[in-house]
Amino acid sequence: MSIVKAKGLDHVAIAVRDLDKAIAIYRDALGLPLAEIEEVPDQKVRTAIFGHGLGRIELICPTANDTGVAKFLDKRGEGLHHICIEVEDLDAALAELKARGAPLIDETPKVGAGGARIAFIHPRGTAGVLTELRQGSLR
Ligand code: CO
């Protein structure tokens, strides 16, 4: 049993080539509430976030060709980019994962959107899906 207490699915992130076109489907066709559109210059992406609290959907679209998301799109096409699990204690979660040999992309947390502390686990350790862990500050 794990000492890590996950709160649940924070968000899923979907890589798209055309943000406006994707928004038209998710907001206008499916009727999901668009919470915000955010430009993240650090990561060279624009994001559109649907919903509030746990279970949000985030569309991510690169604004430059030399980014991780742009490379992902070239290689794999549009689709699921990562999932994010909210945890109570990110340091404890990373220690637990490390002890179990999970390949961590971020051994120490970094600051993500909304000021939350985040860290990524390599898809090799999570059945093929890039996984973000997040502690704190829901939008
Ligand atoms: Co994310």
Going along the chain from its start, the domains and CATH numbers come out as 6-135 (3.10.180.10)
- pTM to 2 decimal places: 0.90
- Is residue 109 predicted with pLDDT exceeding 90? yes
Banded model confidence at residue 117, pLDDT cuts 50, 70, 90: very high
Q: What share of the chain is helix, strand, coil (3-state, %, to 5)?
A: 30, 35, 35
Ligand 1 center–CA 30 separation, angstroms: 21
Q: Which residues, chain by chain, have CB under 5 Å from ion ligand 1?
A: 13, 84, 132
For the ranges 25-29, 39-43, 68-72, 126-130, the lowest mean pLDDT is seen at 39-43
For residue 19, the tally of other CB atoms under 10 A from its CB is: 18
Pairing mode of beta strands 56-62, 45-50: antiparallel
